[in-house]
Amino acid sequence: MASTCTITKCDCNSYAKCDCCQQIICLFHLKEHRDLLISQLNPLINQITILENRVKAFTAEKMIGNACETLQQWRIDCYKKIDKFIEEKSQQLTAYVNNKIDKQRDDIDQIRSKVTKLINKEKLNGQHLDSIKSKIIDLEKEITKTEQTTFHIQMQSFVTSDDLIRIKESNPYQFDLSSLSPASKTIKTSKKNWAALATNEKYLLIHQESNLCLVDQKFTIIKQIPWAFGEIWDMFWSSVLDRFIVINQNSIFLIDDDMMSMKTIQTLNKHAWCCGTCSDKSLFLATYRRGASIIELSLLPTIEFVKHWKPPETCSADEGIHDMAYNDENIFMVIENQVKRTVRVELRSSPTLNRLWSLRMDSADNLNVQIRCCLFNYNEWIVVYHDLNCLLHITKDGKLKGSFSYTPPPHFASRFGFNHLVVTTSTSINLHKIQF
């Protein structure tokens, strides 16, 4: 006798065992179960399509861009080392030949002097003449030898091997500050250093002992100019102007990293500046007060006033801006509510200052030092929190990725090239290599 469907209230004859629910059910419910499974496959097809589109967006040029830049920089550095080495060897060779020539000139001068003395000498005999003739013959042989001299250069071939350059796949998004390497190089400061720092791809600009100093990638001070304009509140690089911008409480300066010359930027109204940043088109400066404003200035063709952003567009009347950093049409801001004693970071649209996201931060019991920030790799950010003795790593979508205790407490940080991070404390300026 045929059994009935095991589905409740169904009197139909059973047809087969369902692979999904493992029950013996009728043909109708078997089809119903199958349709349910198929309906769950449709979203998976959409997911597969999304993944396929992401793969289609891959390009070798985009994926290996940074790696190729590193290889090209290595090639340039190798050429420079070879050029320097060849220059040194050429100078050694030139110095050697010049010494030989100078010696023969000295020998000629000595013989000439002796001949002159003999001419004026009353008692002259054949022995004197034979001595002079012998010296001239010897000198002639040396000169002939010099004229026929050539140099044979023995060089070892430059041998390349796979071990010379090793390529290792890495995932930069897995990097967090807990894996930050110890400082590889350090510049000690003679007294407590609270000044900002700035970097471009080649140089680091620091304030050291009443001077603005330019530091190369070997962490060596290569140029400096006197600084007599008081405390520096912020400094940063403008790729458009090809200049460093330095601000103190009331003035703005342009610093040429080539000539290390200085020029003051004139603004219509005087403000007490706190911090700044710049895009490809504009310079943004925040005022140092509760209810902070942001002044926008154009960079090209001339530096001119564009807009005055005021609360509540910038922040509330009870809030101040600690720092700002620009990247890709966005401004990262550190904001403190000075009444509620709360701190947050926000990403704003640079054309409109519209908020894109906001992240609440832990607040120190006593907030005495400005909280600073800088752009990190892959559109991520680093917050320098002196009063909590730490560096905070913020993702591009506004999530806390990690934190790193730093001793002594950090004041400022800046990316130096793709693989290095510079961190300043009150006693030193430290260079860290980023290990991805």
Q: What is the pLDDT of residue 58?
A: 82
From 100, 131, 147, the end of a domain falls on: 147
Q: What is the pLDDT of residue 47?
A: 86
Q: What is the pLDDT of residue 191?
A: 65
340 inside domain: yes
CA atoms of 343 and 369, how far apart (whole Å): 13
Q: What is the pLDDT of residue 2?
A: 65
Residue 364 DSSP SS3? coil
236 and 267 together in one domain: yes
pLDDT of 295-306, one tens digit each?
Answer: 999 998 888 899
Q: What is the pLDDT of residue 331?
A: 97
125 and 107 together in one domain: yes
Number of domains, the chain = 3
CA atoms of 351 and 331, how far apart (whole Å): 9
109 and 254 together in one domain: no
Q: Residues 143, 395: contact at Cβ < 8 Å?
A: no
Read off the pLDDT band of 193 (50, 70, 90): low
Average pLDDT value for residue range 328-353: 93
Q: Tell me how far apart the 2 most distant CA atoms of the chain are, in Å.
A: 156
46 inside domain: yes
Label each residue of 284-339 as H, E or C: EEEECCCCCCEEEEECCCCCEEEEEECCCCCCCCCEEEEEEEEECCEEEEEEEECC
Q: Where are the beta strands (DSSP E) in 7-153?
A: 16-17, 24-25
Assess whether pLDDT exceeds 80 at residue 208: yes
223 and 256 together in one domain: yes
Note down the domain range covering 406.
177-433
Question: From the CB of residue 413, how many other CB atoms can be counted at a distance below 10 Å?
Answer: 22
pLDDT of 252-267, one tens digit each?
Answer: 999 988 778 899 887 7
213 and 284 together in one domain: yes
170 inside domain: no
4 inside domain: no
30 and 81 together in one domain: no
CA atoms of 1 and 4, how far apart (whole Å): 10
9 inside domain: no
Structure tokens at 332: 């990262």
Structure tokens at 325: 């950093």
Q: Which of 187-201, 219-233, 235-249, 417-431 has the lowest mean pLDDT?
A: 187-201
Q: What is the pLDDT of residue 173?
A: 61
CA atoms of 170 and 67, how far apart (whole Å): 11
378 and 285 together in one domain: yes
From 103, 125, 147, the end of a domain falls on: 147
From 131, 147, 163, the end of a domain falls on: 147
pTM of the model: 0.64
CATH of the domain at 270: 2.120.10.30
More confident residue, 50 or 169: 50
49 and 73 together in one domain: no
377 and 251 together in one domain: yes
Task: Say what percent of the chain tops pLDDT 70.
Answer: 96
CA atoms of 282 and 77, how far apart (whole Å): 34
CA atoms of 295 and 287, how far apart (whole Å): 8
54 and 138 together in one domain: no
More confident residue, 123 or 385: 385
- What single-letter DSSP state applies at residue 13? B
Average pLDDT value for residue range 131-147: 86
CA atoms within 13 A on the CB side of 356: 16
377 inside domain: yes
Structure tokens at 265: 């930027």
163 inside domain: no
75 and 53 together in one domain: no
255 and 386 together in one domain: yes
324 inside domain: yes
